[in-house]
Copies of this chain bind each other. A is one copy, B any other.
Amino acid sequence: MEKVVVVHSGGLDSTVLLYWLINKGHEVRSVGFDYGQKHQKELAAAAIVCSALHIPRFLMTIRPPLKGSALTDPDMTVPEGHYESENMRITVVPNRNMIMLALAAGYAISEGFGVVAYAAHRGDHVIYPDCRAEFRTAMQEVFNLCHFTPLKLEAPFVSYTKVEIVKIGADLKVPFSLTWSCYKGGSTHCGKCGTCVERKEAFRLAGVADPTHYSG
């Protein structure tokens, strides 16, 4: 049993990771970040899941939002289509993974937790430089050195596709309907942005019923 801080956005992958770690018997805390994302609904989703699981949730807020991403900039439109498309590049939030992992590590240290886990997976896309394996390896080295005792950085889903994550979640009876993916921040999932397209596809390929209501 380890004491694990989970970077938990409220989306599908990180919520499955939360359930997966609990199922393994670890003591788990959820951390999330309000970095000015339009899809604040993911934060509400994370809070609801944690409340249902009786897991402590720690939300950190960073202001002002960094410029240059369609996910935070009110003047930029969230693009529609598949992640592989070039136009998805504008959904990159500058250095988001390093920022979230650094803050999660700070929280872990302050609370005496020895592990930070996040839901990097095999389907993470080349358009996100901080999703590459080399980046993760370099972060693990930084985690080894940032505190008096080494901190562990774990990415248990790194060899799994999103389809496999959906299957794992189904086995663990994750309440998928409570999770939130859509970048647009509307009242229902748009069904057209990169993450909605990917979410739909993952359920379909996994052969798992998709409880999400998509508006498009």
Residues of A within 8 A of B (CB): 60-64, 66-69, 93-99, 101-103, 105-107, 109-111, 129-130, 132, 134-135, 138-139, 141-142, 144-148
Contacts and interface: CB of A to CB of B under 8 A. Distances in A.
Contact of A98 (B66, B102, B110): B102
A83 to B, nearest CB: 16
Copies of this polypeptide in the complex:
2
The 9 closest A-B pairs by CB, nearest first: A95-B106, A94-B109, A102-B102, A68-B110, A98-B102, A135-B145, A94-B106, A94-B110, A138-B141
A69 to B, nearest CB: 8
Contacts of A139: 142
Nearest to A69: B110
Given A60-B63, A67-B111, A138-B138, A132 B106 contact: no
Contacts of A111: 67-68
Contacts of A94: 105-107, 109-110, 147
